[in-house]
């Protein structure tokens, strides 16, 4: 594993698309299903039967590629893990909407580690201690999480950006669904909102099911099961140094 800076995709005419951004797959997979559910008024059972990655293709991945993205019908949903500085210019200009989800870095690094071990294409067989050290030293794919999250945080007040926290989805899903619906321009009455929220609850519960994911990868506070005292102290020190004066805060357990 090493630092990989993906080539900047050349996409134009992005209006009406709603890219969804996050640093890494852990946590953002749940968001993509919730966003699809809210924007399309879909049923959770429908999501379980479809290939969600075809409905929300990854911008920088060679498969399915930009041709598939260009063929999507409006409103089009695109997923990416690219830093803000690598976004297509249309997004910088505010012509498309961006939903960014940040997750507390301790849970994220644990989930990211499990993600790397689960994929044959990654084939990571090192220890968690080594993986965490790479994370703290900005030596994983997509570069520095600390820079990534701060770049988007600086643009949280942009009219076309919705900055969300993974932990808030577990604490107050109703409010998050309302935020998403409002941001996406989805109008729904109280009954429809309640139905949407119930469907989203089902997705969150599935994500946190320890039988469905290794060590309940979607749980908030799962880092406490694997961090040692010394690792936690080191992580806190690095976090404080690299986040500097940034006023972004996280909940590390609920």
Write the Ramachandran bin of 80: left for phi over 0, alpha for psi from -120 to 50, otherwise beta: beta
Q: Do 114 and 214 contact (CB within 8 A), yes or no? A: yes
Quote the CA–CA distance of 250 and 253 in Å, as a whole number.
9
Is residue 81 part of the annotated active site? The answer reads: yes
Q: Which of 81, 116, 148, 199 is catalytic?
A: 81
Quote the CA–CA distance of 231 and 228 in Å, as a whole number.
5
Quote the CA–CA distance of 174 and 106 in Å, as a whole number.
25
Quote the CA–CA distance of 62 and 85 in Å, as a whole number.
20
Q: Do 142 and 23 contact (CB within 8 A), yes or no? A: yes
Quote the CA–CA distance of 200 and 221 in Å, as a whole number.
21
Give catalytic residues, as residue numbers: 81
């Amino acid at each position: 594993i090493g630092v990989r800076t993906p080539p900047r995709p050349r996409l134009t005419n992005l209006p009406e698309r709603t890219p969804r951004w996050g640093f890494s797959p852990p946590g953002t997979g749940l968001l993509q299903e919730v966003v699809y559910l809210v924007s399309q008024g879909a049923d959770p059972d429908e999501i379980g039967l479809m290939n969600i990655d075809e409905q929300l293709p990854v911008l920088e991945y060679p498969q399915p590629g930009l041709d598939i993205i260009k063929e999507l019908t409006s409103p089009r949903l695109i997923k990416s893990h690219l830093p803000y500085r690598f976004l297509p210019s249309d997004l910088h200009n505010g012509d498309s909407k961006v939903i960014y989800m940040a997750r507390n870095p301790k849970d994220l690094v644990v989930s990211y580690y499990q993600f790397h071990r689960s994929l044959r294409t990654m084939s990571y067989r090192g220890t968690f201690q080594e993986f965490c050290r790479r994370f703290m030293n900005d030596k994983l794919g997509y570069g520095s999480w600390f820079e990534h999250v701060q770049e988007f945080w600086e643009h949280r007040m942009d009219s076309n950006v919705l900055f969300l926290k993974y932990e808030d989805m577990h604490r107050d899903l109703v409010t998050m669904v309302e935020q998403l619906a409002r941001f996406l321009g989805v109008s729904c009455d109280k009954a429809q909102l309640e139905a949407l929220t119930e469907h989203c609850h089902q997705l969150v519960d599935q994500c946190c099911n320890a039988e469905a994911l290794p060590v309940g990868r979607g749980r908030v506070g799962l880092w406490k099961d694997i961090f040692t005292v010394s690792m936690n102290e080191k992580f806190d020190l690095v976090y404080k140094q690299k986040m500097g004066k940034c006023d972004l805060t996280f909940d590390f357990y609920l």
